[in-house]
Amino acid sequence: MKIHGSCMCGFLTFEAEADPEKVSICHCTDCQSSTGSAFRTNVPVPGNTFKMLSGTPTIYIKTTADSGNPRAQAFCPRCGSPIYSTTSGDGPKASYVVRVGVLRERGELAPKRQNWMRSARPWVTEIGALNRNEKGAT
């Protein structure tokens, strides 16, 4: 399916083609620290379908703690939203791993699997039992 992405401030926009069956959650420690949250939701897209429509992301090269491979982490230089990761270096990319939270279609992209469970916060599978507010904290 066609997907449309935008960072929080709207400086970066992109589009790509994603397979909804490939959406996953990553609980690795790099995803926790780079999102400031408990996990990240990702979908890989073929490199030849990924197109930046506006803005140029800032790239941070991180040798990932869990796999040992250098990854280019792309985020907005203005608002800081993470938008994708890909292989480091120049030239065409085989794929981009897009952050589902920046996609207009995120409501249709429910995760199908969870990876790096060994790094997951122990409470993360229990959040259904927490008190719920329809809006912010009251």
Contacts with Zn ion, residue ranges (CB under 5 A): 7, 9, 11, 26, 28, 31, 76, 78-79
Q: How far is the CB of 81 from Zn ion (least distance, A)?
A: 5
Q: How far is the CB of 136 from Zn ion (least distance, A)?
A: 22
Return the number of the residue (34 or 49) whose C-beta is nearest Zn ion.
Answer: 34
Q: How far is the CB of 103 from Zn ion (least distance, A)?
A: 14
Return the number of the residue (3 or 12) whose C-beta is nearest Zn ion.
Answer: 12
Q: In terms of C-beta distances under 8 Å and separation of at least 24 residues, what long-range contacts does 68-76 make, across chains too?
A: 73/34, 75/7, 76/7, 76/8, 76/9, 76/11, 76/12
**Rounded Cα gap, residues 32 and 120, in angstroms:** 9
Q: How far is the CB of 106 from Zn ion (least distance, A)?
A: 16
Return the number of the residue (1 or 79) whose C-beta is nearest Zn ion.
Answer: 79
E strand or H helix at 35:
helix 29-35
In this structure, which amino acid lies at residue 62?
K
Return the number of the residue (7 or 74) whose C-beta is nearest Zn ion.
Answer: 7
Report yes or no: 83 and 100 within 8 Å, Cβ to Cβ.
no
**Rounded Cα gap, residues 57 and 47, in angstroms:** 16
